[in-house]
Amino acid sequence: MKKNLLLTPGPSKVPVELCEVLGKPIIHHRTPQFQQVLKEVFAGLKQLIGTSSDVYLLASSGTGAMEAAVANLVNPGDKVITVEYGKFGERWTALVKAFKATPVVLKVAWGRAVTVEEIKKALAENPDAKAVFLTQCETSTAVTPDLAIIGAFLKATKVALVVDAVSAMGTEPVRMDDWGVDVYCSGSHKGMMLPPGVGVVAVSAKAIAMIDASTNVRFYFDLRKARKALADTDTPFTPAIGIVIALNEAIKMLLAEGIDNKQAYYLKLAKAVWAGAEAIGLGVYAQPEFRSRALTAILVPEALNPKKLVKTMRDVHGITFAGGQGDLDGKVIRIAHMGAVDEYDILAGLSCLEKVLKEAGHKFELGASLAAAQKVFNS
Amino acid sequence: MKKNLLLTPGPSKVPVELCEVLGKPIIHHRTPQFQQVLKEVFAGLKQLIGTSSDVYLLASSGTGAMEAAVANLVNPGDKVITVEYGKFGERWTALVKAFKATPVVLKVAWGRAVTVEEIKKALAENPDAKAVFLTQCETSTAVTPDLAIIGAFLKATKVALVVDAVSAMGTEPVRMDDWGVDVYCSGSHKGMMLPPGVGVVAVSAKAIAMIDASTNVRFYFDLRKARKALADTDTPFTPAIGIVIALNEAIKMLLAEGIDNKQAYYLKLAKAVWAGAEAIGLGVYAQPEFRSRALTAILVPEALNPKKLVKTMRDVHGITFAGGQGDLDGKVIRIAHMGAVDEYDILAGLSCLEKVLKEAGHKFELGASLAAAQKVFNS
């Protein structure tokens, strides 16, 4: 009878309606029936992220979508700017190196995201850089940059803006065409409320020109093949059929509620978590002006052993949080407020966190985080 | 109330027991709970394919597993032999070219598979070839080579044997270590009875040495990363959690029945289909000594419009067969006898095929294919 609640920032909680879809027999992918699903998924994704350009589906996790961006846009020796403010920014750098291009790493202090001024400066110093690779929601630190302002600046240049939106799609606002995002990479298992297995890549006209000009090595993630298949409402290789069918339903659920409403709701959940954490004497890691609405990294004193708290909450109480990654290992507890997570899930999470904090000897008034969150929910 | 029966050779029919598993909420992948699943999956796959070496899981379809083999084994400029006797053999050639190595294409007439003599000859003419890439079950033509004999020859050489077993795993016998297979690539959606989304790659010690020596471009499919993660019972990137959990159950189901028993059963189903096709005046495309037990390509006179028959069976009767690919487009109808397909499914398929053949004006005695199949089932 133990709870099984995922409050991790990917995979996130899969709602029962989508579990039901995932449990149905699948259909074959080279059929008009599946083409209809693909049509709806492509249209839905375009609406969700605000683009009229191509969207491709890959059978991969989010890193596969990121590799597709790198393999298709950069040539060996090309100079690009990779922006690092957490573990996933570092992944852009590693990918660019693997594909034998030259990353100029723009390091930003963890706890905040990059600003447009920093990007302007990096480009002024590297006028030959072809693209900027950044992270819309840096899941390791729970920060987000002002993508609209960064995009507006880059839109007027020849430099492509490539965005890791793996945990941002559905959770953080984006208007891809208006804002000037050239490649938008995501996956099924965060804001889309599904198990991992589907990668999403949307590309602008500027990106398509770069894809066609690139000489880099690519086959499975070759976006030229994806574009060719798209013309026949198809995918170049066997898609993750079951998850794609469920993705169609997930998108419909999000659009039916209104994506703006959902994102306003995630922001409310985020503010409730921040207030809850502060009410029991814990801090929020991300600087206030860069906080993501998709997840929060709660600072927990190392003396309380946050890794052990996460383990106890998961193994004893059935509520799964994420610990810290990289430099934040053993320093934070991360909680998602994305996808299907609602205010009652957040209350369950805070309640469980209070329980293990009290056991660990942390001093605070029981229920204080719940009351603080409740005030935000109902404000 | 229309039937939804997949007789396609991938995706294949997902049994209700596995649909139920796929419909359950998932767990997080970086947990002891998921590590236990991974441990069982790795052990089960090793038993299934007869290896004590490493098995890796990828979040990809079968082509991703094939790309992993190429990207990790060949260097730009390397000469390798790719064997073509259908569409998937041609994919090996395309992949090797994409990764800037030099394929020597060993073309074998469609309808049969390669022999060890042909491989010996190709290697004698190309003593500098580093590897042989072939297809254990060529899904486009329904043929299989004698892999044990080919492996025994290559095992004594420095040449690596790389096998596309996407539709062969679980259906065609293999003892990877004994037979001398160096890389065995497969996926979740054929013999494993699941939706697509998980790629499987098993590697020998000979292959591991090549992987470590390779300088080719790779990141998402970097098997060095997979080996490093395996040491911690982990995957380098987010796995397709839901399908991996179901794969564990699928392997248990197959091993509980006994994989030898299952494969003897698939051969019986295959023989029933061959007898059934012949009983209604249709041929079997593959030459008798090369016929696969995983699927059959039934030759259908072009005048009967096999593509239209497939469409009618699917759209009107809810039973999905596959048409022909490449050179066989509009010439064959393919039916799977793999994974969860049983004799009653085969009877449903033959019954539906008789129905549309009769409507198309083909002359035969109604029920003849069913009676012929029934005799084989009960022999």
Instruction: Let me know: does B142 contact B291? Beta carbons within 8 Å.
Output: yes
Residues A179 and A281 in one domain: no
* Count of domains forming chain B: 2
Selected for mutation to probe chain B from A60, A72, A319 (highest B CB count within 10 Å) is A60
Residues B173 and B270 in one domain: no
Q: B227, B256, B285 — which closes off a domain?
A: B256
The Cα–Cα gap between B92 and A236 comes to: 15
Instruction: Give residues 178 to 217 of B whose Cβ lies within 8 Å of A.
Output: 187, 189, 195-197, 216-217
Q: Percent helix, strand, coil in chain A (nearest 5)?
A: 45, 15, 40
Return the C-alpha torsion angle A12, A17, A20, A24, nearest 10: -100
For A47-178, strand residue ranges (E) read: 54-59, 79-84, 102-107, 131-135, 160-164
Task: Indicate whether A1 pLDDT > 90.
Answer: no
| Contacts with B243 (C-beta within 8 Å, 6 or more apart), sequence order | A195, A197, A240, A242, B22, B188, B194, B195, B197, B198
So what's the pLDDT on residue B205?
A: 97
What is the rounded average pLDDT of the residues A90-99? Answer: 98
Where residue B193 falls (left for φ over 0; alpha for ψ -120 to 50; beta otherwise) is left
Residues B173 and B212 in one domain: yes
What is the rounded average pLDDT of the residues B343-370? Answer: 98
What are B207-253's pLDDT values in tens digits? Answer: 999 999 999 999 999 999 999 999 999 999 999 999 999 999 999 99
- What ipTM was estimated for this complex? 0.97
Where residue A364 falls (left for φ over 0; alpha for ψ -120 to 50; beta otherwise) is beta
The Cα–Cα gap between A191 and A144 comes to: 15
Chain B residues touching residue A32 (CB < 8 angstroms): 315
Instruction: Let me know: does B211 contact B73? Beta carbons within 8 Å.
Output: yes
The Cα–Cα gap between A196 and A62 comes to: 8
DSSP B324-379: --GGGTTTEEEEE--TT--HHHHHHHHHHHHHHHHHTT----TTHHHHHHHHHHT-
Q: Kind and range of the H or E element at B79?
A: strand B79-84
Amino acid, res. A70:
V
Instruction: Let me know: does B27 contact B17? Beta carbons within 8 Å.
Output: no
Instruction: Let me know: does A195 contact A242? Beta carbons within 8 Å.
Output: no
For B204-302, strand residue ranges (E) read: 283-284, 295-299
Look up residue A317 and give its DSSP letter. Answer: T
Q: Is A220–B31 a contact, with Cβ atoms under 8 angstroms apart?
A: no
Q: Is the peptide bond before A11 cis (omega within 30 degrees of 0)?
A: yes
Chain A residues touching residue B65 (CB < 8 angstroms): none
> Can you tell me which residue has the tokens 């040539």?
A75
Q: Nearest to residue A2, comparing CAs of B247, B33, B249, B250?
A: B33
> Can you tell me which residue has the tokens 């991938």?
B10
What is the rounded average pLDDT of the residues A307-313? Answer: 98
Instruction: State how far the alpha carbon of A90 is from the alpha carbons of A120, A129, A167, in Å.
Output: 20, 18, 16
Q: A232, A256, A280 — which closes off a domain?
A: A256
Selected for mutation to probe chain B from A17, A22, A295 (highest B CB count within 10 Å) is A22
Closest-CA distance of chain A to residue B23, Å: 4
Query: Among all residues of chain B, which has the CA nearest to that of A62?
Result: B238
Give the structural domain span for A67.
16-256
The Cα–Cα gap between B339 and A140 comes to: 41
Residues A356 and A268 in one domain: yes
Residues B282 and B229 in one domain: no
The Cα–Cα gap between A159 and A74 comes to: 12
Instruction: Let me know: does A238 contact B189? Beta carbons within 8 Å.
Output: yes
Residues A222 and A91 in one domain: yes
Query: Among all residues of chain A, which has the CA nearest to that of B11?
Result: A28
Residues A293 and A311 in one domain: yes
The Cα–Cα gap between B321 and A242 comes to: 19
The Cα–Cα gap between A201 and A42 comes to: 11
What are A139-189's pLDDT values in tens digits? Answer: 999 999 999 999 999 999 999 999 999 999 999 999 999 999 999 999 999
Q: Kind and range of the H or E element at B84?
A: strand B79-84
Q: Which two tokens stand for residue A166?
A: 């793996």
So what's the pLDDT on residue B55?
A: 98
The Cα–Cα gap between A4 and A318 comes to: 5
Neighbours of B264 (CB within 10 A): 12
Question: Residue A278 burial (CB < 10 Å; 0-12/13-18/19+)?
Answer: middle
Q: Kind and range of the H or E element at B81?
A: strand B79-84
Handedness of CA B312, B315, B318, B323 (dihedral sign): positive
What is the Cα gyration radius of chain A? 21
What are A54-89's pLDDT values in tens digits? Answer: 999 999 999 999 999 999 999 999 999 999 999 999
CA angle A10/A14/A20 to nearest 5° reads 150
Instruction: State how far the alpha carbon of A49 is from the alpha carbons of A43, A175, A195, A250, B133, in Å.
Output: 10, 6, 20, 14, 41
Torsions phi, psi for A185 (to 5 deg): -110, 130
Q: Which two tokens stand for residue A98?
A: 């693997």
| Contacts with A294 (C-beta within 8 Å, 6 or more apart), sequence order | A9, A137, A139, A142, A144, A167, A168, A171, A172, A190, A191, A266, A270, A336, A337, A338
What is the rounded average pLDDT of the residues B181-188? Answer: 98
So what's the pLDDT on residue B350?
A: 98
CATH number at residue B294: 3.90.1150.10
So what's the pLDDT on residue A60?
A: 98
Chain A residues touching residue B94 (CB < 8 angstroms): 219
What are A329-347's pLDDT values in tens digits? Answer: 999 999 999 999 999 999 9
Residues A112 and A47 in one domain: yes
Residues A165 and A87 in one domain: yes
So what's the pLDDT on residue A340?
A: 97
So what's the pLDDT on residue A146?
A: 98
Of A11, A220, A240, the CB nearest to B197: A240
Confidence of residue A2 (pLDDT cuts 50, 70, 90): confident
So what's the pLDDT on residue A244?
A: 98
Instruction: Let me know: does B174 contact B147? Beta carbons within 8 Å.
Output: yes
Q: Nearest to residue A74, comparing CAs of A58, A88, A56, A92?
A: A92
Q: B256, B273, B306 — which closes off a domain?
A: B256
Amino acid, res. A255:
L
Closest-CA distance of chain B to residue A263, Å: 24
Chain A residues touching residue B11 (CB < 8 angstroms): 26, 28-29, 238, 241
Residues B350 and B276 in one domain: yes
CATH number at residue B176: 3.40.640.10
Task: Indicate whether B302 pLDDT > 90.
Answer: yes
Q: Nearest to residue B372, comparing CAs of B295, B262, B280?
A: B280
So what's the pLDDT on residue A365?
A: 98
Average pLDDT across chain A, whole number: 98
Task: Indicate whether B2 pLDDT > 90.
Answer: no
Selected for mutation to probe chain B from A219, A313, A341 (highest B CB count within 10 Å) is A219
Residues B47 and B31 in one domain: yes
The Cα–Cα gap between B11 and B187 comes to: 10
Instruction: Let me know: does B241 contact A195? Beta carbons within 8 Å.
Output: yes
Residues B221 and B274 in one domain: no
Handedness of CA B359, B362, B365, B366 (dihedral sign): negative
Q: Is the peptide bond before B11 cis (omega within 30 degrees of 0)?
A: yes
pTM of full prediction above 0.95 = yes
What is the rounded average pLDDT of the residues B88-117? Answer: 98
Chain B residues touching residue A63 (CB < 8 angstroms): 219-220, 237-238
Instruction: Give residues 251 to 310 of A whose Cβ lies within 8 Å of B.
Output: none
Query: Judging by DSSP bridges, how do beta strands B283-284 and A198-203 pair with one another?
Result: unpaired
Task: Indicate whether B1 pLDDT > 90.
Answer: no
**Both ends of chain B: CA-CA distance in Å?**
34
Q: Which two tokens stand for residue A124?
A: 């002024």
Q: Is A314–B31 a contact, with Cβ atoms under 8 angstroms apart?
A: yes
| Contacts with A311 (C-beta within 8 Å, 6 or more apart), sequence order | none
Task: Indicate whether B196 pLDDT > 90.
Answer: yes
Query: Among all residues of chain B, which has the CA nearest to that of A93?
Result: B219
What is the rounded average pLDDT of the residues B165-180? Answer: 98
